[in-house]
């Protein structure tokens, strides 16, 4: 069994991702969340082999898992980008302190964007929490340089805790409204990102072949219990969305630079 914490941490991390198949898995999961059968189709490897390497990556806490809201028999796997960044930072510091960049990765990315704006659409079922928060966070982090919208297959209304939690982060979405994805049919987007397992399974097609990405997030609005428990569910969702969107911005910048 390979554990990152063993044998010096940084060296073990490099050894862990030095395996060709684990590297392919990590690169694939860096783009979005997938089930093991999806990975088998994309990578052309048997499910049992992928399951073994996913277990290795999970033990190292580089991969997280989430049981599907649409079908509890399915499990989505995603790369823990914060954990990977932490380990890469340790590797850089071990080699030479000058290799470590401590700047916010989203800030430098959006400066100087003068070409056609990138368009992003976030989708979930009710367009009340996850996709609304993602829309607000991306607009805030990109300083308006990305044209972003959100919608749902069965819109119900903006959740007040989504508004509250983002307001605490300096992001105002109080003016948002829940929108049906029907409002956006026929429009072109560069990225269509599903943040709900149910909408991922029924996501419509959009003109121009946008890049499709899936982030498997549990619905914070579905959390039962005390007001404090529900509040913290929204806090966790906001934190994880912020992480994913930071890295999305870097991806967008690289693709714009290559265009």
User: One of 2, 75, 81, 203 is an active-site residue; which one?
Assistant: 203
Please indicate whether residue 203 is annotated as part of the active site: yes
Please indicate whether residue 101 is annotated as part of the active site: no
- Reply yes or no on whether the pLDDT at 114 is more than 80: no
pLDDT tens across 177-197, in order? 999 999 998 899 999 999 999
Tell me the pLDDT band of 90, cut-offs 50, 70 and 90: confident
Average pLDDT (77-83) is 93
Domain boundaries, the chain: 10-99, 106-258
Q: Is the pTM of this model over 0.85?
A: no
Query: SS3 for 78?
Result: strand
Please indicate whether residue 124 is annotated as part of the active site: yes
Tell me the pLDDT band of 106, cut-offs 50, 70 and 90: low
User: One of 29, 196, 244, 249 is an active-site residue; which one?
Assistant: 196
Fold for the domain defined by 106-258: Rossmann fold (3.40.50)
- Please say whether the beta carbons of 153 and 202 come within 8 A: yes
User: One of 16, 62, 63, 124 is an active-site residue; which one?
Assistant: 124
The pLDDT assigned to 208 comes to: 87
Q: Are strands 191-194 and 211-214 parallel, antiparallel or unpaired?
A: parallel
- DSSP single-letter state for residue 34: B
Backbone angles phi, psi at 192, to 5 degrees: -115, 115
pLDDT tens across 19-72, in order? 999 999 999 999 999 999 999 999 999 999 999 999 999 999 999 999 998 888
Pick the closest to residue 130 from 218, 256, 231, 247 (CA basis).
Answer: 218
User: CATH class for domain 10-99?
Assistant: mainly alpha
Q: Are strands 63-67 and 118-124 parallel, antiparallel or unpaired?
A: unpaired
């Amino acid at each position: 069994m390979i554990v990152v914490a063993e044998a010096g941490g940084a060296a073990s991390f490099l050894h862990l991702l030095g395996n060709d198949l684990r590297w392919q898995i990590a690169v694939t999961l860096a783009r979005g969340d997938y089930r093991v059968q999806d990975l088998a189709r994309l990578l052309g490897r048997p499910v049992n082999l992928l399951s073994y390497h996913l277990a290795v990556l999970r033990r190292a806490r580089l991969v997280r898992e989430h049981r599907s809201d649409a079908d509890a028999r399915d499990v989505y796997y995603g790369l823990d980008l914060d954990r990977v960044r932490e380990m890469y930072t340790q590797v850089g510091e071990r080699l030479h302190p000058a290799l470590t960049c401590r700047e916010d990765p989203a800030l430098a990315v959006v400066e100087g964007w003068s070409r056609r704006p990138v368009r992003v659409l976030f989708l979930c079922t009710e367009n009340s929490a996850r996709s609304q928060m993602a829309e607000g966070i991306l607009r805030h982090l990109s300083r308006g340089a990305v044209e972003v919208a959100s919608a749902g297959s069965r819109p119900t209304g903006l959740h007040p805790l989504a508004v509250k939690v983002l307001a605490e982060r300096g992001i105002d979405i109080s003016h948002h409204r829940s929108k049906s994805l029907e409002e956006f049919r026929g429009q072109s987007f560069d990225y269509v990102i599903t943040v709900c397992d149910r909408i991922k399974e029924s996501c419509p097609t959009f003109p121009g072949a946008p890049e499709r990405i899936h982030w498997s997030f549990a619905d914070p609005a579905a959390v039962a219990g005390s007001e404090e428990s529900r509040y913290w569910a929204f806090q966790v969702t906001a934190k994880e969305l912020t992480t994913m969107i930071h890295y999305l911005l870097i991806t967008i910048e690289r693709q714009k630079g290559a265009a």
